Amino acid sequence: MSTPSLLILPGDGIGPEVMAEVRRVIDWFGARRGLAFDVTEDLVGGAAWDVHGTPLTDATMEAAQGVDAVLLGAVGGPKYDDLDFSVKPERGLLRLRKEMDLFANLRPAQCFDALADFSSLKRDVVAGLDIMIVRELTSGVYFGEPRGIVTENNERVGINTQRYTESEIARVARSAFELARRRDNRVCSMEKANVMESGVLWRQVVTEVHAAEYPDVELSHMYADAGAMQLTRWPRQFDVIVTDNLFGDLLSDLAAMLTGSLGMLPSASLGAPMANGRPKALYEPVHGSAPDIAGQGKANPIACILSFAMALRYSFDQGAEADRLEGAVQAVLAQGLRTPDLMGPEGGTPVGTRGMGDAILAA
């Protein structure tokens, strides 16, 4: 088997700072676990605009299409606020997502015991929480036509269209079922089939894909509003949740706050399987470039490190090594190490970006 390839795009703001810690983690896996990666690093976002006048060059786009996985830091920052929309840093990320056709956005909500008091809910509700939200990312009401603001009967009308084809629903459903098989084998599909035609079709297609291809996985359905309620009442009842673009946007933000700081949250965006059977994939922390703390060495690198753990699991088939990395994160949190964003009333040992990276490597 050839060496697995990884394209690293640190980007802007705290992106390069947190990615530097990930590079050390990757080197550690090479030196200590015999797990070598063919790593290339390139520019994206404002950093690419500074050099090339575009947030993503064609060459970088092509490289992204050719590797086993892409790992991205963050893009954007005040320096680029006045740029033309077509070359804004965020457009670099959007182009990657679109051309790689990354239709399944995975957001885990996992509660690290040492941070359970950070949750918006009570400790006993979130302790041990480990769920995965799969959000459809490339269709639905954000993209459906017709859309726009028109004039009808002498007043303005704002129009968006929720539209899903059965193949769009089937492919994201498959992503969710595949994930469930590697986890607790349960999928809950959320829509509003009671009031939306797209929801009726969503439920039908998920049910059909399940019956034909994944009868071994436990499937349930829930209206998305009830799902939001259940997520805050008793989140541990879920394993994998699969839902559309709009509901997924809301539900994944809600789930994020079950577990605490933005500095802790990884994500993956997956597309269709490549020749090697693994999906096209881009991994990135949920947080942005955090210009308010950039350059100060205090950003929390854990979200980006956990994004690499997801890459180990979903792109490189190294679930045990992903567990090892997540275990190290768990251990340093239990030791009481805290970047400023994790510093709560109970205190802890203050560390910066590098200090957190050191501790995770040691663990």
Binding residues for Mg(2+): 225, 249, 253
Q: Which is nearer to ligand ATP, 177 or 308 (CB)?
A: 308
CB of 262 to Mg ion, least distance (A): 8
Q: Which is nearer to Mg ion, 198 or 252 (CB)?
A: 252
Q: What is the DSSP letter of 335?
A: T
Residue 133, classed as helix, strand or coil, is: strand
Which of 225, 317, 323, 358 does the annotation list as catalytic? 225
Interface with ligand ATP in residues 66-95 (CB under 6 A)? 76
Interface with Mg ion in residues 278-337 (CB under 5 A)? 288
Contact between 193 and 200 under an 8 Å Cβ cutoff? The reply is yes
**Cβ-defined contacts of 64-67 (< 8 Å, 24+):** 64/7, 64/96, 64/99, 64/100, 64/282, 65/99, 65/100, 65/280, 66/5, 67/5, 67/6, 67/7, 67/40
Pattern 256-285, binding to ligand ATP, x per CB under 6 A? ------xx----------------------
What are the helix (H) ranges across the chain?
15-33, 46-52, 58-66, 89-99, 123-126, 166-181, 197-213, 224-233, 245-256, 302-314, 319-334, 353-362
Is 124 an annotated catalytic residue? no
Span from 21-29, 162-170, 245-253, 287-295 in contact with ligand ATP (CB under 6 A): 287-295
CB of 143 to Mg ion, least distance (A): 20
Say which amino acid occupies 332.
V
Size of the site for ligand ATP (CB under 6 A): 15
Q: Which is nearer to Mg ion, 16 or 288 (CB)?
A: 288
Tell me if 287 contacts ligand ATP by CB under 6 A. Answer: yes
- Residues annotated within the binding site are 77-90, 97, 107, 135, 225, 249, 253, 288-300
Binding site for Mg ion (CB under 5 A): 288
Question: Known catalytic residues?
Answer: 142, 192, 225, 249, 253
